[in-house]
Chain A
Amino acid sequence: RKEVEQDPGPFNVPEGATVAFNCTYSNSASQSFFWYRQDCRKEPKLLMSVYSSGNEDGRFTAQLNRASQYISLLIRDSKLSDSATYLCVVTTGAGSYQLTFGKGTKLSVIP
């Protein structure tokens, strides 16, 4: 089983739609979780950290389910500018060198 798995997509959704991505991780000792956004041919940028109780930032909601070992990202009221690849990132210990990146889920929001 791969360490961090994501559905590669692409997810093609109309503007205004709600879309959800899941990410599963294999290491039950994983401690920290992040969602990054990567635009085509650009560097990844931190979208949000994922906290145990779940957290929200505007139209974005992140959830963590430790029992089932997955995290999710929900995007409400999708905008054209949300089109990007969303990377799930998991740490397995202290120190950022222990980050494991998923391959990403591609989202295309269409008018």
Chain B
Amino acid sequence: DGGITQSPKYLFRKEGQNVTLSCEQNLNHDAMYWYRQDPGQGLRLIYYSQIVNDFQKGDIAEGYSVSREKKESFPLTVTSAQKNPTAFYLCASSIDDWSSYNSPLHFGNGTRLTVT
């Protein structure tokens, strides 16, 4: 079955360390996204990529970095510059036809990052 896989499900890191979250999809979607969710908050867009080797900052990109070397993969690095990294991180993908307004997102099962 096609889908999006995030790993690991839970991640614990010490403050000051960079950490990379994995996201792989086999849906053949062009577009991929990273969101962050904090308790009681809506999802906030960190970075998105509409095509291989290209990505754009979202609303809260500071302290994060991404790469898109392959269509299937969109890893997110949480750097030590991110002030409040503890959160639930969600990767998503969509068909994202530029002419389409109806491209719902398909989410991975998330990575819960705790930094102490």
Contacts and interface: CB of A to CB of B under 8 A. Distances in A.
Interface string B78-116: 000000000010101010101111111111111010000
Contacts of B105: 44, 46, 96, 99
B108 to A, nearest CB: 6
Interface residues on A, range: 20 to 34
Interface stretch (A13-21, A58-66, A75-83, A100-108): A100-108
B28 interface: no
A49 interface: yes
A34 B101 CA distance: 11
Closest 3 CB pairs of A and B: A43-B107, A101-B42, A96-B94
Interface of B: 31, 33, 40-43, 45, 48, 50, 56, 58, 88, 90, 92, 94, 96, 98-110, 112
Interface of A: 4, 8, 31-32, 34, 41-46, 49, 87, 91, 93-97, 99-104
